[in-house]
Amino acid sequence: MAVSTEPPSETTRPVIDADRFRTARATLIVDGFMTWFIKVGGLVIIIAVFGIFVFILLQILPLFQGAKVGAERIVSAPAGAVAAFGIDEWGEMPFVVYRDGGIFFAGSPGETPLMTGGPIVTASAYNVHDQRLVMGTSTGSLAVATIGYEPEYGAQGRRTLKPSAAISPSLQLGDPGAALVSVAYADTGDDRLAAAVQEVDGQRRLWVATVEAGGGLSTDGALTLGSRVELTAELPGVPERVLVDNRADSVIVTTTTGSVCYFFRRDGHFEKRQFFVPFEDQPDHRVASIDFLLGDVSLVLTNPAGCNRIFSLHHRDGGEIRTFGQTKELALLPAGCEHFGASTRNKAYLATAGTTASLRYATTAHVRWERDLGYAIRGAVINSKYDRLAFIDDRNAMHLMPLSDPHPEAGFQALFDKVWYEGASEPRYEWQSSGGSDDFEPKLSMINLLVGTLKGTFYALLFAVPIAVLGAMYTAEFMHPKFRSVVKPTVEIMASLPSVVLGFLAAQWLAPVLEMRVPSVLMVILLVPTTAIALGSAWSRLPMSMRSRIRPGYEFLAFVPVLLAVCWAGWELGPLLERLVFTVPDPHGSGTIADFRRWWPRVTGCSFEQRNSLVVGFMMGFAVIPIIFTIAEDALSNVPKNMRSGSLALGASRWQTAYSIVLPTASAGIFSALMIGVGRAIGETMIVVMATGNTPILDFNIFNGMRTLSANIAVELPEASEGGTLYRTLFLGAMLLFGMTFIINTVAELLRQHLREKYRTV
CATH code for the domain of 314: 2.130.10.10
Stretch 613-626: mean pLDDT, rounded?
90
**Beta-bridge mates of residue 379:** 392
**Residue 732 maps to a domain:** no
Domain interval for residue 343? 284-406
In angstroms, rounded to a whole number, what is the distance separating the alpha carbons of residues 629 and 527?
A: 23
**Beta-bridge mates of residue 69:** 403
Q: In terms of domains, do 270 and 304 share one?
A: no
In angstroms, rounded to a whole number, what is the distance separating the alpha carbons of residues 584 and 554?
A: 48
**Residue 250 maps to a domain:** yes
Q: In terms of domains, do 483 and 571 share one?
A: yes
Q: In terms of domains, do 595 and 525 share one?
A: yes
DSSP state of 256: T
**Residue 39 maps to a domain:** no
Q: In terms of domains, do 398 and 478 share one?
A: no
Q: Collapse the DSSP code of 538 into the 3-class scheme (helix H, G, I; strand E, B; otherwise coil) and give the result.
A: helix
Query: Quick one: which H or E segment has residue 593?
Result: strand 592-594
At residue 762 the predicted structure's pLDDT band, cuts being 50, 70 and 90, is very low
Q: In terms of domains, do 557 and 607 share one?
A: yes
- pLDDT of 653 reads 80
**Beta-bridge mates of residue 82:** 98
Q: Collapse the DSSP code of 9 into the 3-class scheme (helix H, G, I; strand E, B; otherwise coil) and give the result.
A: coil
- pLDDT of 258 reads 93
Q: Collapse the DSSP code of 71 into the 3-class scheme (helix H, G, I; strand E, B; otherwise coil) and give the result.
A: coil
Residue 329: count of CB within 10 angstroms of its CB: 11
pLDDT tens for residues 525-580?
999 999 988 988 888 788 877 777 788 778 888 888 998 999 999 999 999 998 89
CATH (domain of 515): 1.10.3720
In angstroms, rounded to a whole number, what is the distance separating the alpha carbons of residues 340 and 444?
A: 27
Inter-residue contact 150 to 161 (CB < 8 Å): yes
Enumerate helices (H) and strands (E) in the chain, giving the number of each: 18, 33
Q: Which of 271-285, 353-367, 587-601 bottoms out in mean pLDDT, i.e. has the lowest?
A: 587-601
Inter-residue contact 672 to 748 (CB < 8 Å): yes
Cβ neighbors of 7 (< 8 A, separation 6 or more) are none
The pTM (predicted TM-score) of the whole model is: 0.85
If one compares 440 and 99, the residue with the highest pLDDT of the two is: 99
Q: In terms of domains, do 269 and 288 share one?
A: no
**Residue 167 maps to a domain:** yes
15 has pLDDT over 70? no
CA–CA distances in Å: residue 262 to residues 22, 207, 245: 99, 14, 11
Q: In terms of domains, do 229 and 352 share one?
A: no
Tell which of 256, 276, 296 closes a domain.
276
Q: In terms of domains, do 563 and 526 share one?
A: yes
Q: In terms of domains, do 247 and 201 share one?
A: yes
pLDDT tens for residues 164-213?
888 888 899 988 989 999 999 999 888 899 999 999 988 999 999 999 88
In angstroms, rounded to a whole number, what is the distance separating the alpha carbons of residues 244 and 290?
A: 12
**Residue 172 maps to a domain:** yes
Q: Number of structural domains, the chain?
A: 3
Stretch 89-115: mean pLDDT, rounded?
86
Q: In terms of domains, do 238 and 319 share one?
A: no
Average pLDDT, the chain: 88
**Residue 272 maps to a domain:** yes
Tell which of 656, 679, 706 closes a domain.
706
Inter-residue contact 597 to 643 (CB < 8 Å): no
pLDDT tens for residues 58-81?
999 999 999 999 998 999 999 989
Q: In terms of domains, do 290 and 271 share one?
A: no
If one compares 549 and 364, the residue with the highest pLDDT of the two is: 364
Q: In terms of domains, do 618 and 500 share one?
A: yes
**Residue 44 maps to a domain:** no
At residue 158 the predicted structure's pLDDT band, cuts being 50, 70 and 90, is low
Inter-residue contact 387 to 346 (CB < 8 Å): no
Tell which of 255, 276, 297 closes a domain.
276
**Residue 145 maps to a domain:** yes
Q: Is the dihedral of CA 488, 493, 497, 502 positive or negative?
A: negative
Q: Give me the percent of the chain exceeding a pLDDT of 90.
A: 48
In angstroms, rounded to a whole number, what is the distance separating the alpha carbons of residues 431 and 425?
A: 16
In angstroms, rounded to a whole number, what is the distance separating the alpha carbons of residues 78 and 17?
A: 108
Inter-residue contact 451 to 736 (CB < 8 Å): no
Cβ neighbors of 223 (< 8 A, separation 6 or more) are 144, 168, 169, 171, 192, 211, 212, 213, 214, 217
125 has pLDDT over 60? yes
Q: Which of 181, 291, 318, 194 is nearest to 240 (CA)?
A: 181
